[in-house]
Amino acid sequence: MSTSTSRSPFGTRLHEAMAARGPLCVGIDPHPGLLAEWGLADDVGGLERFSLTVVEALADRVAVLKPQAAFFERHGSRGVAVLERVLAEAAQAGALTIADAKRGDIGSTMAAYADAFVGEGSALAADAVTASPYLGVGSLAPLLELAAKTGRGVFVLALTSNPEGPQVQHARVADGRTVAQAVLDDLRALNAPELAAGAPLGSVGAVVGATIGGSGQVHDLAVGGPLLAPGIGAQGATADDLRSVFGAALPAVLPSSSREVLRGGPDVAGLRAAAARTLDEVGRVLAGA
């Protein structure tokens, strides 16, 4: 698969998109409950109607759209075809895309995931992809290397909001750092060359839940790349929580909201209004960073 590209690095493109359209990522999560709320069947037809309505409503106005791959994959090959169309039409309308796939493996398997989600010429290639580092950050090397060659990004899980997360993420490595901090430090090192070359933002980001406040753990979140912050709205985090969770790293935050915005559908105008409200709330906080 070809890796040649004239595309600017993802971090630079994301910085520009957030400046032009505001700091908001909207998840496209067509799970059965939301399909039902929209009056759609839980089948490929409902999946397609839901997802393409979100693209129609928001791809020309929000910085980033983030389809959750699992909700497409559960419908088999026809569902994956819908995901390919979502990625293509979102890009055509000017939105950046993050394939929320959370892939993590080793060796040739990781290289195959890289070809799928960041390889030039792949119908599943997004502007960035989410990945799990819990086989070691080094296991992601094939993905990170190919993403750098094709001007794409990788968001690596670091601090998640699920209750089971701290059991792994707050555990200590030999030098006393938490596992999460060790991951964050590795990401900072990966971004250093891009920043040294003058990029406004590195292309390797971290996923840090907006709902993790009050954990009692303090982490250095400044990795030089973007901080994808899911959890705004239906998952319980508010825009004001961003300040307490991210502190000095707030300027690098890309807040992400899914259900809070998606419940504005199925009407296009309702989706646009919900996204505008959320953007206004998070923009107010980030403008004061």
Question: C-alpha distances in angstroms, 209 versus 21, 148, 204, 213?
Answer: 22, 25, 16, 9
Cα(258)–Cα(29) distance, rounded to whole angstroms? 7
Find how far residue 263's CA is from the centre of its chain. 20
Is 66 designated active site? no
- The residues near 231 (Cβ < 8 Å, ≥ 6 apart) are 161, 209, 210, 211, 237, 256
Contact 131, 143 (CB under 8 A): yes
Q: Is 39 exposed, middle or buried (0-12, 13-18, 19+ CB in 10 A)?
A: exposed
Active-site residue, selected from the candidate residues 102, 149, 177, 277? 102
Tell me the Cα Rg of the chain: 18
Nearest residue to 224 via CA among 279, 141, 153: 153
Contact 124, 154 (CB under 8 A): no
Which residues are designated catalytic?
102
